[in-house]
Amino acid sequence: MYVGREKLEMHSINEAAEFVNKLDASQRFAAASIRALACAPFHSFGLLYKKVHRTPFSGKVVAVDGGIASVDFHGVDVLVWRSCAACFQYDCDKINSAEYFPSRFPAHEIAAFPSLDGAEYSWHKSLTRLRSEINCANAALNKFSPSLLLLDGSILPQTVDKPAKSSSLYAEYEALVTDYLQLYSACAKNQCTLAGVIKDSRGKKAVELLRNGVSGATAQALEKTTDSVLLQYLLEEGERSFSFQYSESEEHSVLRDFGERARALHCLYIKPAQWDRPLRVDYLCLAPAGGEEAFADDVAQKVFALSALNRAYAHPAALIEADLRAAVDPREVEGAVRQLAAKTIGASAFLALRRDSRPFR
């Protein structure tokens, strides 16, 4: 029986490997075919890819990230979270000084709330983290007046972050949209470039746009790939993709809530390092009509300069720092829960879940 199962597992591994290899070959083929069409007439938004002019970065950069952890009990759920902004002053690519908001070692926040079902719980957790991050970004922008503000992730909520209108959390979502709009307005007023850097994007918008201009085997290959995978093969080090609008407002459930500002949300991909995958960059385009391409070039140049630190890993140093400062250590969560437990002795709601307290495994 054991030998038979071993053979079955090997057969499955071989099949899986064959599938991955075929998929990879089709993606490489599609990338090569599209790269040869860089100036094809079907492409209405400029070059498919272009070289990014590498210039040393000088100026002030603020990067914001947040961390959150959760613990579930019999009748309540507990969230522990914090956000941090790291402000780096650059002079020709060198960091001259670093400041932080609210501090270099920000204290965590904690909240307990009645147990929610799966969807409500997920919404509550994401809304708590996002509101913390965007409020931190607004405060840091006011405190440091940077020329570039970076967020970890996109510059607007994702579809999965939006509760149903019938949910008690919908008002919290509306407050989050207001926080984002305040950030957009403050960046525009202070002439600060706002960009979100996505480490591991699974977006397909660029692929969808490209698929409209190709046919045959290339079009078929594009049906089974994502932007990041395709552009890993299409882009060379120091190149960016074409820029495009995040989405059309009428077809995106979240963008509809952002009114006219939705038109200013653009995206591009850039490959800062030879052996790493492209970064997706979402940004608030503040350019006047006709200046969108030059604005995209400027965003790409800044992200390129800040991310090209290692040939195998590309990411802005300020965002790496903010991530490290905001991360919630499991030991902090344990300590916070112990303090809470000491003040709620005998509370049924604070009993451990049965799956976590059974005396045997």
In a domain, 31, yes or no: no
CATH number of the domain residue 70 falls in: 3.30.2170
In a domain, 32, yes or no: no
DSSP 49: E
Q: According to the model, what pLDDT value does residue 360 have?
A: 60
In a domain, 348, yes or no: no
Domain residue limits at 160: 49-330
In a domain, 172, yes or no: yes
Sign of the C-alpha dihedral, residues 31, 33, 39, 41? negative
Listed residue (278, 295, 311) closest to 31, CA to CA: 278
Our CA angle for 63, 67, 70, nearest 5°, is 170
pTM of the model: 0.91
Which pair of tokens denotes residue 342? 């000491």
pLDDT tens per residue across span 59-110: 999 999 999 998 887 778 889 999 999 999 999 999 999 999 999 999 999 9
In a domain, 9, yes or no: no
Listed residue (39, 41, 45) closest to 245, CA to CA: 45
| 359 has a pLDDT exceeding 70 | no
In a domain, 231, yes or no: yes
Q: According to the model, what pLDDT value does residue 41 have?
A: 46
pLDDT tens per residue across span 248-288: 766 789 999 999 999 999 999 999 998 999 999 999 999 98
Band of the pLDDT at 1, cuts 50, 70, 90?
A: very low
Q: According to the model, what pLDDT value does residue 72 have?
A: 82
pLDDT tens per residue across span 162-192: 999 999 999 999 999 999 999 999 999 999 9
Q: Give the C-alpha separation, 249 to 257, whole Å.
A: 9
In a domain, 44, yes or no: no
Instruction: Tell me how many domains the chain contains.
Output: 1
DSSP 257: G
Q: Is the peptide bond before 102 cis (omega within 30 degrees of 0)?
A: yes
Q: Give the C-alpha separation, 350 to 343, whole Å.
A: 10
Mean pLDDT for 216-231 is 90
In a domain, 360, yes or no: no
